[in-house]
Amino acid sequence: MDLYAVLNLAPGASPAKIKAAYHRALLVAHPDKNNASQPTPDIAAIKDAYRVLSSPALCAKADQDQLRCPRPAQVILLADFDEQGADAWTHMCRCSGAYAITGAEMDHGVHLVPCTSCSKVVWVGYELAEEE
Ligand SMILES: [Zn+2]
């Protein structure tokens, strides 16, 4: 079972691409819109693939189950990121791209961050600040 194939995505696609592919796949699979001759994955499979691929926690579990998910190339601590303004951090990739994460993403427990230009994904190490 290849979750990326269900959404017609390349492995390691960014969260934005996964979301766009999910909406495209839903449109194509919709009975009212599906006038293509080739069979499409059913809507339940598409929703399931999106649910797993868009959730770092589920994705990590899927990885253990040998499903294909972004596999982080390395762990980089948030302390090694450069602060960009009040709520964003970036870390240079070995290519000319960068890994970027925002405070809002961290609030949602996002750890897997793709490079903006190559296919690498890193795991960002941080602990959520305790609310007082
Ligand atoms: Zn890169």
Q: What is the DSSP string of 114-127?
A: EBSSSS-EEEEE--
The pLDDT of residue 6 is 86
Q: Are residues 31 and 51 in the same domain?
A: yes
Domain identity same for 45 and 79 = no
Q: Which of 26, 49, 67 is the last residue of a domain?
A: 67
> What's the gap in Å between 6 CA and the centre of ligand 1?
26
CA of 72 to the centre of ligand 1 (A): 12
Distance 99 CA to ligand 1 centre (A): 8
Mark which of 49, 67, 85 sits at the end of a domain.
67
Q: Please give the chain's pLDDT, 132 residues, in tens.
A: 578 888 888 877 778 888 899 998 888 887 766 555 556 678 888 888 888 888 766 666 665 555 555 666 688 999 999 999 889 999 999 999 999 999 988 888 788 888 899 888 888 888 765 554
pLDDT of residue 59: 65
Measured CA to CA, the distance from residue 53 to residue 57 in angstroms comes to: 9
The model's pLDDT over 118-127, given as tens digits with 9 standing for 90+, comes to 888 888 888 7
Residues 78 and 49 in one domain: no
Which residue range forms the structural domain that includes residue 13?
3-67
How many domains does the chain contain in total?
2
Q: How is residue 126 written in tokens? A: 């941080």
CA of residue 4 to ligand 1 center, whole Å: 21
Q: In this structure, are 53 and 93 located in the same domain?
A: no
